[in-house]
Structure formats: C-alpha cells, structure tokens
C-alpha cells in the first residue's frame, strides 16, 4: 500500500561511488536448494574466498535471519513468501551499499525468486541452484527435520509436504553430488571473475 506522506530520499553518494571505493561490482548471489542441500556451507566457503582477496561481502543465512528480522514468521506458504520478500529488500540495500551479498535460503517458489531479481538490475542477481537429490539431503538431515516431516511432526516442509520449484534457468547450476564444497566454491569464484564482478 502506498502512502502519500512517504517520499523517497535520494542519496548524494551513489551506488557507483560505493562500489568504486570497494573495487568490485555489487551483486546478489542467491543460493537456493532443498534443506541440507549444502547452501549455507557453500555460501560460507565462497564468502571466505572473497574475503581472502579483500572483497566486501555480507552473508544472509535462513536460520540467522529468522532469529531476528523474520522472527515472527512461520513456515506456511504465505510466510515463506513474506520471508523472501523481506530478504530481497535487505539484499537490494546491500547491493546499493556496493557489497556482494550472499543469501542462503530454500526460497522454494520461482515467482518469489523472480521478484527479488526484479528489485535490482539484470546483472546484479545471480541465481545459484544447489541441486542436491532429496535422498542425499535426507541422509544428511543435520537437524533431524526430514525425519520429523516424514512423521508429520512438521508441516509445510519443503520437499516433503510443500513443493520446491527448481530453477529452470539459474546462472549457476551445481550438481552437488560427489563434489567437495571447496570445488563448488571455486566454480562460483571463477564465474565471478569471468563475468567481471571481481578482478581475475
């Protein structure tokens, strides 16, 4: 809902100024995939590699965000949509600050991922599909969530009682089987170098 009493404030320091100071091209690295697919571990490894070459980053992780910003949201489809909307808006602010922001969220619905993409410029959203088979995710199950979902103790659980819409055209598609976190992180760093987000 729009409010006529709210007027956008235009900053004197532009996104280009902020990015230039940092020596990088800001973007959102949007990691999506099932629970226990490896999103958080891979995002963390990528951020470590970026930090090692003095790039300016911030990592937003699903569980961490739900402890604060999105604490009041549940896991219904409606709450999942609102969860991603808020994360999209926060990610946009990080991009405007000139940062490379990494987000690790199941984000099961393509429509919501596309809405985040539309918040920024075409080349500022990089969808990274961590494609891990359901049976592999279940075998890991570090929090025991799949087991609880199978027993009906958790409702609206993605991959079991709630749908996951796999990306059809992600910029980076990782088949996360028989490959190490380090190898996956290197592939993503190579993409960022090849596309000019960071220096080669």
Domain range summary for the chain, segments of one domain joined by +: 15-133+166-194
29-38: pLDDT as tens digits: 999 999 999 9
Among candidate residues 40, 91, 107, 162, the one labeled active-site is 107
Cα 82 from chain centre: 15
Q: How far apart are the first and last CA of the chain?
A: 44
Residue 48: is its pLDDT beyond 70? Answer: yes
62-121: pLDDT as tens digits: 677 777 778 888 888 888 888 889 999 999 999 999 999 999 999 999 999 999 999 999
How high is the pLDDT of residue 3? 65
How high is the pLDDT of residue 64? 74
Q: Domain 15-133+166-194, what fold?
A: Rossmann fold (3.40.50)
Under 8 Å between Cβ of 104 and 32 = no
Dist. CA 65–CA 86, nearest whole Å:
10
Under 8 Å between Cβ of 199 and 193 = yes
Residue found under tokens 């990015």 = 19
Question: 163, 181, 162, 169: which is closest to 104 by C-alpha?
Answer: 181
Active site annotation includes 107: yes
Max Cα–Cα distance, the chain, nearest Å = 55
Count of beta carbons in the 10 Å neighbourhood of residue 159: 20
Section 19-26 average pLDDT:
86
């Amino acid at each position: 809902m729009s409010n006529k009493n709210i007027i956008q404030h235009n900053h004197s320091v532009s996104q280009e100024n902020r990015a230039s100071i940092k020596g990088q091209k800001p973007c959102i690295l949007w990691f999506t995939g099932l629970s226990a697919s490896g999103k958080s571990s891979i995002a963390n490894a990528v951020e470590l590699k970026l930090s090692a070459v003095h790039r300016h980053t911030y990592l937003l992780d699903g569980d961490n965000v739900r402890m604060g910003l999105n604490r009041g949201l549940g896991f219904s489809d409606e709450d999942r949509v609102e969860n991603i909307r808020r994360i999209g808006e926060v990610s946009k602010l990080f991009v405007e600050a000139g940062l490379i922001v990494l987000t690790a969220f199941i984000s099961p619905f393509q429509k919501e991922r596309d809405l985040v993409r539309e918040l920024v410029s075409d080349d500022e959203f990089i969808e990274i599909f961590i494609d891990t088979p359901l049976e592999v995710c279940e075998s890991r199950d570090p929090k025991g969530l799949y087991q609880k979902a199978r027993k009906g103790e958790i409702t609206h659980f993605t991959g079991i009682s709630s749908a996951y819409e796999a990306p059809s055209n992600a910029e980076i598609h990782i088949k996360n089987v028989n490959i190490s976190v380090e190898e996956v992180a290197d592939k993503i760093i190579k993409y960022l170098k090849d596309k000019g987000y960071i220096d080669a």
